[in-house]
Amino acid sequence: MAGDYLPYVPQGEPVLIDEGIWTVEGPTVLYPFGPFRIPCPTRATILADPRGGIWLHSPVAYSDQLRSSIEALGPISGLIAPNTFHHLYIRDWAGNVPRAAVVLAPGLEALFEDLQSRSIPLTRMRSEGGPDWLGMNIVDGTEWREVALFHKTSRSLILTDMLQNFELGRVHGLLPKSLLALSGAGRGPVVSIELLATAWRSGMLDQVRASLRMLKGLSARRVLIAHGKQPEPRDLRKKGWAIED
Cα angle 87, 89, 90; round to 5: 65
As a whole number of Å, the end-to-end CA separation of the chain is 42
Task: Give the pLDDT score at 180.
Answer: 83
Query: Tens of pLDDT along 82-128?
Result: 988 899 999 999 999 999 999 999 889 999 999 999 999 888 887 77
Given a cut of 50, whether residue 2 has pLDDT beyond it is no
Domain edges within the chain: 4-238
pLDDT band, very low/low/confident/very high, at 69 (cuts 50, 70, 90): very high
pTM of the model: 0.93
Task: Give the pLDDT score at 1.
Answer: 39
Contact 150, 218 (CB under 8 A): yes
Given a cut of 50, whether residue 185 has pLDDT beyond it is yes
- Please compute the mean of the pLDDT values over residues 53-79 and round it to a whole number: 98
Q: Which CATH number fits domain 4-238: 3.40.50.2300, 3.90.550.10, 3.60.15.10, 1.10.10.10?
A: 3.60.15.10
Quote the mean pLDDT of the chain. Answer: 91
Query: Tens of pLDDT along 227-241?
Result: 999 999 999 999 999
Q: Helices marked H in 10-78 — which ranges?
A: 64-71
Task: Give the pLDDT score at 197.
Answer: 79
pLDDT band, very low/low/confident/very high, at 142 (cuts 50, 70, 90): low
The dihedral over CA atoms of 178, 215, 44, 236, expressed in degrees to the nearest 10, equals 50
Rounded Cα gap, residues 12 and 8, in angstroms: 10
Given a cut of 70, whether residue 205 has pLDDT beyond it is yes
Q: Which residues of 188-213 are buried (b: 16+ CB within 10 A; e: fewer)?
A: bbbbbebbbebbeeeebbeebeebbe
Top mean pLDDT of 26-40, 129-143, 165-179 is at 165-179
Cα angle 15, 16, 20; round to 5: 135
Q: Which residues pair with 190 in a beta bridge?
A: 164
Q: Amino acid letter at 72?
A: A
Cα angle 96, 6, 47; round to 5: 40
